[in-house]
Amino acid sequence: MKPAQTLQKLTSPYSWAGLPWGEYYREALEQQLQPWWPKMFGFHLLKIGNLSTELASEKCAISHQVNVGLAGDNLHVQADPYQLPFAAKSVDACLLAHTLSYADDPHRLLREVDRVMIDDGWLVISSFNPFSLLGLGKLIPRLRKRQPYVSRMFTQMRLLDWLSLLNYEVLDQTRFHVLPWQRKGGTFLSTHLPALGCMSVIVARKRTLPLTPTPMKVGARKHSLSRAVGATKSYRKLP
């Protein structure tokens, strides 16, 4: 497995139109996120990266939505995603639409997002699926330096592992849009073979308590209890 951090400088497209079949990807992703927007409540939604800023999120219950990035036409705040100019625990939800795919240090980016996220905050991550028709293009040397094959395609399992380390509860994980050159992405194939979908989406929430309870050490507890009882008995023998 290749390390998450890379010395390669990746350039994110300024819009979905900069990707082959990019508008199809955007429409499919917007449709996939529609049921989730009304469930998110709070005061501030961050949309990090140019691709995130172009996604429609009018149905989101969070009215104050801030577009963040290094450069672009739709930005509200121009900033380095690795050093977000926001206080800790001040953001209710964050959208990373293919942002990790063009990050040279995705671990650092996720930690920075986690820093500004409130407890029980929402995190939405989308990426390209390496095990798809789109992912096969990375095996062709002539295509590797073109969009979107130049992007980093992490497996969904790897992304889930990163979120688990940060103690996020995954509410939904799905793959869709099997045929990239079709507007609907192959409805039949996306329904029956979603694992081959070109697009991957994860919806998660930040939790403060461990998701897996730590078992109590019963033996140690009994031992300490017996010592306490013995101490009580010896105290009663004193005049």
Q: Which residues pair with 205 in a beta bridge?
A: 122, 169
What is the block-wise mean pLDDT of the chain (239 residues), using blocks of 10 residues? 78 92 96 96 96 96 94 90 96 97 95 97 97 91 89 94 96 95 89 92 90 54 44 43
pTM for the predicted model, two decimal places:
0.85
CA distance 121 to 125: 13
DSSP 24: H
Q: What is the pLDDT of residue 84?
A: 96
Sign of the dihedral through C-alpha 88, 93, 99, 101? positive
Q: What is the pLDDT of residue 227?
A: 47
CA distance 140 to 134: 11
pLDDT digits over 184-203, tens only?
998 888 888 899 999 999 99
Q: What is the pLDDT of residue 222?
A: 46
Write out the H or E segment, with its range, that includes residue 113.
helix 106-116
> Residue 72: which of 99, 93, 106 has the closest Cα?
99
Q: What is the pLDDT of residue 208?
A: 84
Domains of the chain in sequence order: 16-211 (3.40.50.150)
What count of residues does the chain have? Answer: 239
CA distance 151 to 51: 13
pLDDT digits over 55-81, tens only?
999 999 999 999 999 888 889 999 999
DSSP, residue by residue, 138-164: GGSTTTTTSTTTTS----HHHHHHHHH
Tokens encoding 50: 């140019």
Q: What is the pLDDT of residue 87?
A: 96
pLDDT digits over 199-224, tens only?
999 999 999 876 555 565 545 444 44
